[in-house]
Structure 1
Amino acid sequence: MFNEVPYEIISSREECSYMSIFKKISDTVSKGVTTATEKAQQTVEVTRLNAQISGKRKEIDKLFAIIGESVYEGYLSNDLSLAESKVLPRCNEITAIREEIAVLDDRIKAIRNEKDCVCGKRLPEDTRFCPSCGHPFPEPEPEPVVFDKPPVQMDPYVPGDTVAEDRAAGSEEEEARPTAHVDNRQICNSCSTPLYADSHYCPACGQPTR
Protein backbone atom coordinates (compact mmCIF):
# COMPACT_ATOMS: atom_id res chain seq x y z
CA MET A 1 0.00 0.00 0.00
CA PHE A 2 1.30 3.50 -0.89
CA ASN A 3 2.21 5.81 1.91
CA GLU A 4 -0.31 8.62 2.17
CA VAL A 5 1.08 12.15 2.28
CA PRO A 6 -0.37 14.11 5.16
CA TYR A 7 -2.81 16.82 4.12
CA GLU A 8 -0.85 19.43 6.05
CA ILE A 9 2.24 18.85 3.86
CA ILE A 10 0.24 19.08 0.63
CA SER A 11 -1.43 22.27 1.83
CA SER A 12 1.95 23.75 2.78
CA ARG A 13 3.41 22.95 -0.64
CA GLU A 14 0.45 24.54 -2.42
CA GLU A 15 0.76 27.62 -0.26
CA CYS A 16 4.48 27.92 -1.07
CA SER A 17 3.72 27.53 -4.77
CA TYR A 18 1.07 30.25 -4.64
CA MET A 19 3.42 32.53 -2.72
CA SER A 20 6.17 31.95 -5.29
CA ILE A 21 3.85 32.81 -8.17
CA PHE A 22 2.52 35.87 -6.35
CA LYS A 23 6.06 37.07 -5.58
CA LYS A 24 7.12 36.67 -9.20
CA ILE A 25 4.10 38.64 -10.43
CA SER A 26 4.63 41.33 -7.80
CA ASP A 27 8.32 41.70 -8.69
CA THR A 28 7.53 41.89 -12.42
CA VAL A 29 4.87 44.55 -11.85
CA SER A 30 7.21 46.45 -9.53
CA LYS A 31 9.98 46.46 -12.14
CA GLY A 32 7.54 47.65 -14.79
CA VAL A 33 6.28 50.46 -12.57
CA THR A 34 9.85 51.50 -11.75
CA THR A 35 10.80 51.58 -15.44
CA ALA A 36 7.69 53.56 -16.35
CA THR A 37 8.33 55.99 -13.49
CA GLU A 38 11.93 56.54 -14.58
CA LYS A 39 10.87 57.17 -18.17
CA ALA A 40 8.21 59.62 -17.01
CA GLN A 41 10.77 61.47 -14.88
CA GLN A 42 13.18 61.58 -17.82
CA THR A 43 10.45 62.97 -20.08
CA VAL A 44 9.61 65.68 -17.55
CA GLU A 45 13.28 66.60 -17.16
CA VAL A 46 13.88 66.74 -20.93
CA THR A 47 10.76 68.89 -21.38
CA ARG A 48 11.98 71.27 -18.68
CA LEU A 49 15.43 71.55 -20.26
CA ASN A 50 13.96 72.15 -23.72
CA ALA A 51 11.79 74.92 -22.28
CA GLN A 52 14.90 76.57 -20.82
CA ILE A 53 16.69 76.29 -24.16
CA SER A 54 13.70 77.82 -25.95
CA GLY A 55 13.65 80.76 -23.53
CA LYS A 56 17.37 81.40 -23.98
CA ARG A 57 17.03 81.35 -27.77
CA LYS A 58 14.35 84.02 -27.50
CA GLU A 59 16.80 86.10 -25.44
CA ILE A 60 19.34 85.73 -28.26
CA ASP A 61 16.76 86.85 -30.83
CA LYS A 62 16.10 90.00 -28.79
CA LEU A 63 19.83 90.73 -28.58
CA PHE A 64 20.17 90.28 -32.34
CA ALA A 65 17.37 92.80 -32.81
CA ILE A 66 19.16 95.30 -30.56
CA ILE A 67 22.41 94.77 -32.48
CA GLY A 68 20.67 95.32 -35.81
CA GLU A 69 18.98 98.48 -34.57
CA SER A 70 22.27 99.83 -33.22
CA VAL A 71 24.06 99.18 -36.52
CA TYR A 72 21.27 100.86 -38.48
CA GLU A 73 21.44 103.92 -36.22
CA GLY A 74 25.18 104.11 -36.93
CA TYR A 75 24.44 103.80 -40.62
CA LEU A 76 22.01 106.73 -40.46
CA SER A 77 24.67 108.74 -38.67
CA ASN A 78 27.25 107.83 -41.35
CA ASP A 79 29.46 106.51 -38.57
CA LEU A 80 29.16 102.80 -37.80
CA SER A 81 31.79 103.12 -35.07
CA LEU A 82 29.07 104.68 -32.91
CA ALA A 83 27.34 101.28 -32.79
CA GLU A 84 30.43 99.49 -31.48
CA SER A 85 29.84 100.42 -27.84
CA LYS A 86 26.34 98.90 -28.03
CA VAL A 87 27.12 95.91 -30.26
CA LEU A 88 30.13 94.38 -28.46
CA PRO A 89 28.43 93.91 -25.05
CA ARG A 90 25.42 92.32 -26.77
CA CYS A 91 27.72 89.95 -28.69
CA ASN A 92 29.35 88.88 -25.42
CA GLU A 93 25.91 88.20 -23.94
CA ILE A 94 24.97 86.05 -26.94
CA THR A 95 28.17 84.01 -26.59
CA ALA A 96 27.49 83.40 -22.89
CA ILE A 97 23.88 82.34 -23.55
CA ARG A 98 24.98 79.94 -26.30
CA GLU A 99 27.38 78.31 -23.85
CA GLU A 100 24.49 77.87 -21.41
CA ILE A 101 22.39 76.30 -24.17
CA ALA A 102 25.23 73.87 -24.97
CA VAL A 103 25.35 72.76 -21.31
CA LEU A 104 21.58 72.17 -21.27
CA ASP A 105 21.77 70.25 -24.54
CA ASP A 106 24.53 68.03 -23.11
CA ARG A 107 22.22 67.21 -20.20
CA ILE A 108 19.49 66.15 -22.62
CA LYS A 109 21.91 63.91 -24.51
CA ALA A 110 23.06 62.33 -21.26
CA ILE A 111 19.46 61.61 -20.20
CA ARG A 112 18.60 60.08 -23.59
CA ASN A 113 21.97 58.31 -23.88
CA GLU A 114 22.70 59.98 -27.23
CA LYS A 115 25.60 61.69 -29.00
CA ASP A 116 26.10 64.03 -31.96
CA CYS A 117 27.88 63.15 -35.20
CA VAL A 118 30.10 65.60 -37.08
CA CYS A 119 27.34 65.82 -39.71
CA GLY A 120 24.85 67.08 -37.11
CA LYS A 121 22.78 63.89 -36.79
CA ARG A 122 21.95 62.78 -33.24
CA LEU A 123 22.54 59.07 -32.65
CA PRO A 124 22.32 56.47 -29.87
CA GLU A 125 25.44 56.41 -27.69
CA ASP A 126 26.44 52.87 -28.76
CA THR A 127 26.47 53.68 -32.51
CA ARG A 128 29.86 52.83 -34.04
CA PHE A 129 29.32 54.40 -37.49
CA CYS A 130 26.97 57.22 -38.48
CA PRO A 131 24.26 55.79 -40.79
CA SER A 132 24.08 59.13 -42.64
CA CYS A 133 27.72 60.05 -43.35
CA GLY A 134 29.68 56.95 -42.26
CA HIS A 135 31.73 58.79 -39.65
CA PRO A 136 33.40 56.23 -37.31
CA PHE A 137 33.26 56.61 -33.55
CA PRO A 138 36.09 55.28 -31.39
CA GLU A 139 35.13 52.33 -29.26
CA PRO A 140 35.02 53.19 -25.53
CA GLU A 141 37.77 51.65 -23.47
CA PRO A 142 36.40 48.95 -21.14
CA GLU A 143 36.53 49.90 -17.51
CA PRO A 144 38.62 47.59 -15.32
CA VAL A 145 36.51 45.31 -13.18
CA VAL A 146 37.52 45.24 -9.54
CA PHE A 147 35.93 42.62 -7.31
CA ASP A 148 35.78 43.53 -3.63
CA LYS A 149 34.25 40.12 -3.03
CA PRO A 150 34.42 36.85 -4.98
CA PRO A 151 31.89 36.81 -7.85
CA VAL A 152 28.59 35.20 -6.97
CA GLN A 153 28.05 31.85 -8.64
CA MET A 154 24.72 31.43 -10.40
CA ASP A 155 22.77 28.52 -8.99
CA PRO A 156 21.22 26.03 -11.45
CA TYR A 157 17.50 26.33 -11.94
CA VAL A 158 15.48 24.20 -9.57
CA PRO A 159 11.65 23.97 -9.84
CA GLY A 160 10.12 25.98 -7.05
CA ASP A 161 13.31 28.06 -6.60
CA THR A 162 11.95 31.61 -6.41
CA VAL A 163 15.40 33.19 -6.95
CA ALA A 164 15.96 31.34 -10.23
CA GLU A 165 12.40 32.09 -11.31
CA ASP A 166 12.92 35.79 -10.62
CA ARG A 167 16.08 35.74 -12.75
CA ALA A 168 14.23 33.97 -15.54
CA ALA A 169 11.41 36.51 -15.32
CA GLY A 170 13.96 39.32 -15.60
CA SER A 171 15.47 37.73 -18.73
CA GLU A 172 12.03 37.36 -20.30
CA GLU A 173 11.30 41.00 -19.54
CA GLU A 174 14.55 42.08 -21.22
CA GLU A 175 13.65 40.06 -24.32
CA ALA A 176 10.12 41.50 -24.37
CA ARG A 177 11.27 45.12 -24.41
CA PRO A 178 10.52 46.84 -27.74
CA THR A 179 13.51 47.53 -29.95
CA ALA A 180 14.10 50.51 -32.19
CA HIS A 181 12.15 50.39 -35.43
CA VAL A 182 14.28 49.31 -38.37
CA ASP A 183 13.52 48.68 -41.99
CA ASN A 184 13.98 44.93 -42.28
CA ARG A 185 13.93 45.17 -46.05
CA GLN A 186 17.49 46.53 -45.93
CA ILE A 187 20.31 44.38 -44.59
CA CYS A 188 24.02 45.21 -44.53
CA ASN A 189 25.81 43.07 -47.11
CA SER A 190 28.91 42.97 -44.95
CA CYS A 191 27.64 42.10 -41.44
CA SER A 192 23.89 41.44 -41.98
CA THR A 193 22.88 44.21 -39.58
CA PRO A 194 19.33 45.58 -40.16
CA LEU A 195 19.49 49.14 -41.48
CA TYR A 196 17.30 52.20 -41.15
CA ALA A 197 15.47 53.28 -44.28
CA ASP A 198 17.70 56.40 -44.66
CA SER A 199 21.00 54.70 -43.80
CA HIS A 200 23.87 55.44 -46.17
CA TYR A 201 26.36 53.55 -44.01
CA CYS A 202 26.02 50.57 -41.70
CA PRO A 203 25.99 51.74 -38.05
CA ALA A 204 27.77 48.55 -36.98
CA CYS A 205 30.64 48.14 -39.49
CA GLY A 206 30.63 51.38 -41.52
CA GLN A 207 30.10 49.65 -44.87
CA PRO A 208 28.40 51.92 -47.51
CA THR A 209 24.87 50.74 -48.21
CA ARG A 210 24.37 52.44 -51.57
Structure 2
Amino acid sequence: MSLFRKITETVSKGVSTATEKAQQTVEVTRLHSQISGKRREIEKLYVSMGEAVFRGYLDKDLSRAETKVIPACEEIVAIRGEVEALEERIMQLRNEKECVCGRKVPYDTRFCPSCGHPFPEPAIPAAEDPLEEFDRQETEPSGLSSADPFVEPPGYKDPGEAPSASDWADVGKPVLEEVPSAWSDAGQATPSFLDDADAVGAERADSAKCPGCGTAVGTTAKFCPSCGTPQQ
Protein backbone atom coordinates (compact mmCIF):
# COMPACT_ATOMS: atom_id res chain seq x y z
CA MET A 1 0.00 0.00 0.00
CA SER A 2 2.91 2.33 0.81
CA LEU A 3 4.48 1.73 -2.61
CA PHE A 4 1.19 2.41 -4.39
CA ARG A 5 0.72 5.68 -2.49
CA LYS A 6 4.29 6.70 -3.24
CA ILE A 7 3.81 6.01 -6.96
CA THR A 8 0.53 7.94 -6.95
CA GLU A 9 2.14 10.96 -5.31
CA THR A 10 5.06 10.87 -7.75
CA VAL A 11 2.74 10.69 -10.75
CA SER A 12 0.57 13.50 -9.37
CA LYS A 13 3.58 15.76 -8.89
CA GLY A 14 4.82 14.95 -12.39
CA VAL A 15 1.45 15.73 -13.94
CA SER A 16 1.21 19.01 -12.01
CA THR A 17 4.69 20.06 -13.10
CA ALA A 18 4.00 19.12 -16.71
CA THR A 19 0.75 21.10 -16.66
CA GLU A 20 2.51 24.20 -15.31
CA LYS A 21 5.26 23.89 -17.94
CA ALA A 22 2.66 23.51 -20.71
CA GLN A 23 0.76 26.58 -19.52
CA GLN A 24 4.00 28.55 -19.34
CA THR A 25 4.96 27.48 -22.87
CA VAL A 26 1.56 28.51 -24.23
CA GLU A 27 1.77 31.91 -22.53
CA VAL A 28 5.34 32.53 -23.76
CA THR A 29 4.35 31.56 -27.30
CA ARG A 30 1.40 33.97 -27.17
CA LEU A 31 3.64 36.81 -25.98
CA HIS A 32 6.20 36.09 -28.71
CA SER A 33 3.40 36.26 -31.27
CA GLN A 34 2.37 39.68 -29.97
CA ILE A 35 5.98 40.89 -30.13
CA SER A 36 6.29 39.72 -33.75
CA GLY A 37 3.10 41.58 -34.68
CA LYS A 38 4.29 44.82 -33.09
CA ARG A 39 7.66 44.57 -34.83
CA ARG A 40 5.85 44.24 -38.15
CA GLU A 41 3.97 47.43 -37.31
CA ILE A 42 7.31 49.17 -36.73
CA GLU A 43 8.60 47.95 -40.10
CA LYS A 44 5.54 49.41 -41.83
CA LEU A 45 6.13 52.74 -40.13
CA TYR A 46 9.75 52.68 -41.30
CA VAL A 47 8.54 52.19 -44.86
CA SER A 48 6.05 55.06 -44.62
CA MET A 49 8.76 57.34 -43.21
CA GLY A 50 11.11 56.46 -46.07
CA GLU A 51 8.43 57.12 -48.66
CA ALA A 52 7.64 60.51 -47.10
CA VAL A 53 11.30 61.52 -47.10
CA PHE A 54 11.79 60.37 -50.69
CA ARG A 55 8.76 62.37 -51.87
CA GLY A 56 10.12 65.44 -50.12
CA TYR A 57 13.42 64.89 -51.89
CA LEU A 58 11.70 64.73 -55.28
CA ASP A 59 9.77 67.90 -54.49
CA LYS A 60 12.98 69.66 -53.40
CA ASP A 61 11.38 70.29 -49.99
CA LEU A 62 12.13 67.81 -47.20
CA SER A 63 10.16 69.87 -44.70
CA ARG A 64 6.97 68.39 -46.15
CA ALA A 65 8.00 64.99 -44.79
CA GLU A 66 7.95 66.24 -41.19
CA THR A 67 4.16 65.99 -40.96
CA LYS A 68 4.43 62.22 -41.50
CA VAL A 69 7.86 61.44 -40.08
CA ILE A 70 7.39 62.96 -36.60
CA PRO A 71 4.06 61.19 -35.81
CA ALA A 72 5.53 57.92 -37.13
CA CYS A 73 8.58 58.30 -34.85
CA GLU A 74 6.35 58.90 -31.83
CA GLU A 75 4.30 55.82 -32.65
CA ILE A 76 7.45 53.72 -33.02
CA VAL A 77 8.67 54.82 -29.59
CA ALA A 78 5.33 53.82 -28.05
CA ILE A 79 5.35 50.40 -29.75
CA ARG A 80 8.92 49.77 -28.59
CA GLY A 81 7.80 50.38 -25.03
CA GLU A 82 5.06 47.78 -25.46
CA VAL A 83 7.60 45.29 -26.83
CA GLU A 84 9.89 45.84 -23.84
CA ALA A 85 6.97 45.23 -21.47
CA LEU A 86 6.14 41.95 -23.24
CA GLU A 87 9.78 40.83 -23.11
CA GLU A 88 9.88 41.66 -19.40
CA ARG A 89 6.80 39.50 -18.88
CA ILE A 90 8.48 36.59 -20.68
CA MET A 91 11.54 36.86 -18.41
CA GLN A 92 9.25 36.83 -15.37
CA LEU A 93 7.58 33.64 -16.56
CA ARG A 94 10.97 32.02 -17.13
CA ASN A 95 12.38 33.40 -13.84
CA GLU A 96 15.16 35.24 -15.69
CA LYS A 97 16.77 38.68 -15.77
CA GLU A 98 18.86 40.50 -18.38
CA CYS A 99 22.44 41.63 -17.87
CA VAL A 100 23.88 44.90 -19.20
CA CYS A 101 25.71 42.82 -21.81
CA GLY A 102 22.40 41.48 -23.16
CA ARG A 103 22.63 37.93 -21.82
CA LYS A 104 19.62 36.48 -19.97
CA VAL A 105 20.51 34.59 -16.78
CA PRO A 106 18.52 32.93 -13.95
CA TYR A 107 17.01 35.44 -11.56
CA ASP A 108 19.04 34.29 -8.52
CA THR A 109 22.38 34.79 -10.36
CA ARG A 110 24.68 37.21 -8.53
CA PHE A 111 27.31 37.67 -11.27
CA CYS A 112 26.90 37.43 -15.04
CA PRO A 113 28.79 34.33 -16.30
CA SER A 114 29.64 36.17 -19.56
CA CYS A 115 30.94 39.59 -18.47
CA GLY A 116 31.15 39.27 -14.66
CA HIS A 117 28.71 42.14 -14.05
CA PRO A 118 27.47 42.06 -10.40
CA PHE A 119 23.71 42.12 -9.87
CA PRO A 120 22.25 44.02 -6.89
CA GLU A 121 20.92 41.95 -4.05
CA PRO A 122 17.10 41.60 -4.17
CA ALA A 123 15.29 43.69 -1.59
CA ILE A 124 14.08 41.65 1.39
CA PRO A 125 10.78 42.83 2.88
CA ALA A 126 11.05 43.94 6.50
CA ALA A 127 9.72 41.36 8.94
CA GLU A 128 6.88 42.43 11.17
CA ASP A 129 7.62 42.82 14.87
CA PRO A 130 6.14 39.75 16.66
CA LEU A 131 5.37 41.89 19.74
CA GLU A 132 3.22 44.24 17.66
CA GLU A 133 1.40 41.27 16.15
CA PHE A 134 0.75 39.87 19.64
CA ASP A 135 -0.53 43.22 20.94
CA ARG A 136 -2.85 43.58 17.95
CA GLN A 137 -4.29 40.11 18.50
CA GLU A 138 -4.87 40.91 22.17
CA THR A 139 -6.72 44.15 21.40
CA GLU A 140 -8.82 42.84 18.51
CA PRO A 141 -12.20 41.34 19.48
CA SER A 142 -12.34 37.59 19.06
CA GLY A 143 -16.01 37.57 18.03
CA LEU A 144 -17.01 35.34 20.97
CA SER A 145 -19.06 36.43 23.94
CA SER A 146 -19.42 34.93 27.38
CA ALA A 147 -22.97 33.90 26.49
CA ASP A 148 -21.82 31.67 23.61
CA PRO A 149 -22.20 27.99 24.57
CA PHE A 150 -19.10 25.79 24.62
CA VAL A 151 -19.08 23.32 21.74
CA GLU A 152 -17.11 20.16 22.33
CA PRO A 153 -14.92 19.11 19.40
CA PRO A 154 -15.52 15.72 17.76
CA GLY A 155 -13.99 12.86 19.75
CA TYR A 156 -13.74 14.90 22.94
CA LYS A 157 -13.94 12.88 26.15
CA ASP A 158 -14.27 14.12 29.68
CA PRO A 159 -11.05 13.32 31.60
CA GLY A 160 -13.19 12.21 34.55
CA GLU A 161 -15.22 9.78 32.48
CA ALA A 162 -14.37 6.09 32.83
CA PRO A 163 -12.91 4.42 29.69
CA SER A 164 -15.29 2.27 27.70
CA ALA A 165 -14.73 -1.27 26.38
CA SER A 166 -13.80 0.06 22.92
CA ASP A 167 -11.04 2.21 24.45
CA TRP A 168 -9.40 -0.93 25.91
CA ALA A 169 -9.67 -2.87 22.63
CA ASP A 170 -6.50 -1.40 21.09
CA VAL A 171 -4.42 -1.52 24.27
CA GLY A 172 -1.36 -3.75 23.88
CA LYS A 173 -1.52 -3.90 20.09
CA PRO A 174 1.83 -3.08 18.46
CA VAL A 175 1.94 -0.04 16.20
CA LEU A 176 3.65 -0.84 12.92
CA GLU A 177 5.09 1.95 10.83
CA GLU A 178 5.34 1.63 7.09
CA VAL A 179 8.94 1.76 5.98
CA PRO A 180 9.50 2.83 2.36
CA SER A 181 11.60 0.43 0.40
CA ALA A 182 14.11 1.26 -2.31
CA TRP A 183 13.29 -2.03 -4.10
CA SER A 184 10.35 -2.58 -6.41
CA ASP A 185 7.65 -5.18 -5.76
CA ALA A 186 7.92 -6.59 -9.29
CA GLY A 187 10.66 -9.04 -8.26
CA GLN A 188 13.46 -7.02 -9.81
CA ALA A 189 16.02 -5.20 -7.71
CA THR A 190 16.12 -1.52 -8.68
CA PRO A 191 18.26 0.34 -6.16
CA SER A 192 17.59 4.05 -6.38
CA PHE A 193 21.22 4.93 -5.68
CA LEU A 194 22.20 3.66 -9.14
CA ASP A 195 19.99 6.21 -10.86
CA ASP A 196 21.32 8.92 -8.55
CA ALA A 197 24.87 8.00 -9.44
CA ASP A 198 24.12 8.27 -13.17
CA ALA A 199 22.50 11.68 -12.67
CA VAL A 200 25.47 12.96 -10.66
CA GLY A 201 27.89 11.73 -13.30
CA ALA A 202 26.00 13.50 -16.07
CA GLU A 203 25.88 16.72 -14.05
CA ARG A 204 29.62 16.63 -13.40
CA ALA A 205 30.32 16.16 -17.10
CA ASP A 206 28.48 19.41 -17.97
CA SER A 207 29.87 21.56 -15.15
CA ALA A 208 33.01 22.36 -13.21
CA LYS A 209 33.69 23.76 -9.74
CA CYS A 210 34.60 27.38 -9.15
CA PRO A 211 38.12 27.68 -7.63
CA GLY A 212 36.90 30.54 -5.45
CA CYS A 213 33.72 29.25 -3.81
CA GLY A 214 33.30 25.68 -5.09
CA THR A 215 29.96 26.34 -6.82
CA ALA A 216 29.14 24.22 -9.88
CA VAL A 217 29.79 26.37 -12.98
CA GLY A 218 28.98 25.62 -16.62
CA THR A 219 31.91 24.75 -18.84
CA THR A 220 31.20 27.78 -21.09
CA ALA A 221 30.95 30.32 -18.24
CA LYS A 222 33.69 32.94 -18.04
CA PHE A 223 32.76 34.07 -14.52
CA CYS A 224 31.27 32.32 -11.50
CA PRO A 225 27.57 33.29 -11.15
CA SER A 226 27.87 33.13 -7.33
CA CYS A 227 31.11 34.96 -6.46
CA GLY A 228 32.22 36.47 -9.80
CA THR A 229 35.61 34.72 -9.86
CA PRO A 230 37.04 34.47 -13.44
CA GLN A 231 37.05 30.89 -14.72
CA GLN A 232 40.01 29.41 -16.57
**TM-score where L is the length of structure 1:** 0.72
- The structure-2 alpha-carbon separation of the partners of 1:185 and 1:35, relative to structure 1 and needing over 3 Å to count, comes to closer
- The structure-2 alpha-carbon separation of the partners of 1:140 and 1:183, relative to structure 1 and needing over 3 Å to count, comes to farther
Q: 1:72 aligns with which of 33, 42, 54?
A: 54
Q: Aligned pairs, how many?
A: 171
1:29 is aligned to 2:11: yes
Alignment-derived partner of residue 221 in structure 2: 199
The question of whether the paired residues in 1 share the 8 Å contact of 2:113 and 2:225 is answered with yes
Q: CA deviation at 1:185?
A: 6.1
1:138 is aligned to 2:160: no
1:150-190, Cα deviation, whole Å (9 max, x unpaired)? xxxxxxxx83289xxxxxxxxxxxx99x8997864643221
Alignment-derived partner of residue 189 in structure 1: 211
1:8-157 equivalences under 5 Å are: 18=1, 20-144=2-126
- The amino acid of 1:70's aligned partner reads A
- The structure-2 alpha-carbon separation of the partners of 1:132 and 1:144, relative to structure 1 and needing over 3 Å to count, comes to same
* Greater fraction of residues in helix: 1
- The structure-2 alpha-carbon separation of the partners of 1:98 and 1:183, relative to structure 1 and needing over 3 Å to count, comes to farther
- The structure-2 alpha-carbon separation of the partners of 1:133 and 1:112, relative to structure 1 and needing over 3 Å to count, comes to same
The 3-state SS of whatever aligns with 1:195 is strand
Q: CA deviation at 1:73?
A: 1.1
Q: Where do 5+ consecutive residues of structure 1 fail to align? A: 1-17, 149-157, 163-174
Alignment-derived partner of residue 14 in structure 1: none
- The amino acid of 2:221's aligned partner reads S
The question of whether the paired residues in 1 share the 8 Å contact of 2:207 and 2:218 is answered with no
- The structure-2 alpha-carbon separation of the partners of 1:100 and 1:114, relative to structure 1 and needing over 3 Å to count, comes to same
Alpha-carbon distance between aligned partners in 1 of 2:5 and 2:126, rounded to the nearest angstrom? 36
**What do you get for the CA RMSD once the two structures are aligned?**
2.9
Alpha-carbon distance between aligned partners in 2 of 1:183 and 1:193, rounded to the nearest angstrom? 14
Alpha-carbon distance between aligned partners in 1 of 2:207 and 2:34, rounded to the nearest angstrom? 40
The 3-state SS of whatever aligns with 2:97 is strand
Of 107-116 and 189-198, more deviation after overlay is shown by 189-198
Alpha-carbon distance between aligned partners in 2 of 1:48 and 1:183, rounded to the nearest angstrom? 35
- The amino acid of 2:209's aligned partner reads I
Instruction: State the identity %.
Output: 55
Alpha-carbon distance between aligned partners in 2 of 1:25 and 1:68, rounded to the nearest angstrom? 64
**TM-score where L is the length of structure 2:** 0.65
